[in-house]
Amino acid sequence: MRLRHKPWADDYMKENDHVVVQKPFDFKGNWQANFKKEQPLHLEIGSGKGQFIAGMGKQHPEYNFIGLERVKSVIVGALKKVLDAETDNVRLINEDAADLRDLFGTSEIDHIYLNFSDPWPKTRHEKRRLTFSAFLEQYEDVLKDDGKLTLKTDNRGLFEYSLASFSQYGMIIEEVNLDLHAVEDPLNVPTEYEEKFAAKGQPIYRCKARFKS
Ligand code: SAH
């Protein structure tokens, strides 16, 4: 859906600036001030239409959540989901993950989620993959020493690439799951893409990793 078909998107986001943070760069290093309670901060990069971040917010009132999504016409869907979930521990940022270090201070985040990130299958687009080493450097900076990175995807190529990239970077891989839905996990909050691909019978891959401290 093209943005020009959603001229109300800016107004909708401004009206709900308690959820979509309007000057997110001002909060670098001080994100806890944006939340009601000071508690661990979890970040999803590429949150799409927000089913995961809204669901996690509801399931985990003991954490604060931020969904980062660069496409305006998509993040408004996430805004609606967060409002409908009536949870006060989720914020959204309409920016690009390339600016992560300008958005978050060192060791400010406890957990990063990458859910069904764009696979960028062509080798010449490797740098755009959210698990490319330059992104990992940023994640290492903004994550706490014992912080975690969780990746879910249906894309086998991206999964294989990411495992190799984590490993080459020297990260510790704590879980590799090649068929997340084979066993029912009541704690797993499915994303929109996850539901779509799982319904087609495609396996969902998950990896949990952390940086060496
Ligand atoms: N996580 C959602 C959406 C997956 S599609 C789900 O699982 O259903 C990938 C999303 O990541 C898209 O909405 C895309 O706009 C966003 N995205 C990709 N690269 C990004 C970046 N560099 N910064 C912020 N968002 C990004």
As a whole number, mean pLDDT of residues 2-12 equals 75
* 80 touches ligand 1 (CB under 6 Å): no
Q: Which pair of tokens denotes residue 193? A: 């893409």
What's the rounded Cα separation, in Å, for the pair 42 and 173? 19
SS3 assignment, position 52: helix
Indicate the pLDDT class of residue 8, thresholds 50, 70 and 90. confident
- What does the DSSP 8-state code read for residue 6? -
SS3 assignment, position 188: coil
Yes or no: say if 153 and 116 are a contact pair by the CB < 8 Å rule: yes
Nearest to 171 by CA among 141, 137, 212: 212
What's the pLDDT at 6?
A: 72
**pTM of the predicted protein model:** 0.97
What's the pLDDT at 4?
A: 56
pLDDT tens across 61-84, in order? 999 999 999 999 999 999 999 999
Catalytic residue among 10, 102, 118, 145, which? Answer: 118
Indicate the pLDDT class of residue 1, thresholds 50, 70 and 90. very low
CA distances from 122 to 33, 46, 126, 183, 187 (A): 41, 20, 7, 33, 34
Centre of ligand 1 from the C-alpha of residue 204, in Å? 17
The protein residue with its alpha carbon nearest to ligand 1, atom 4, reads 116
What's the rounded Cα separation, in Å, for the pair 79 and 101? 24
pLDDT tens across 82-137, in order? 999 999 999 999 999 999 999 999 999 999 999 999 999 999 999 999 999 999 99
Residue 2 pLDDT exceeds 60: no
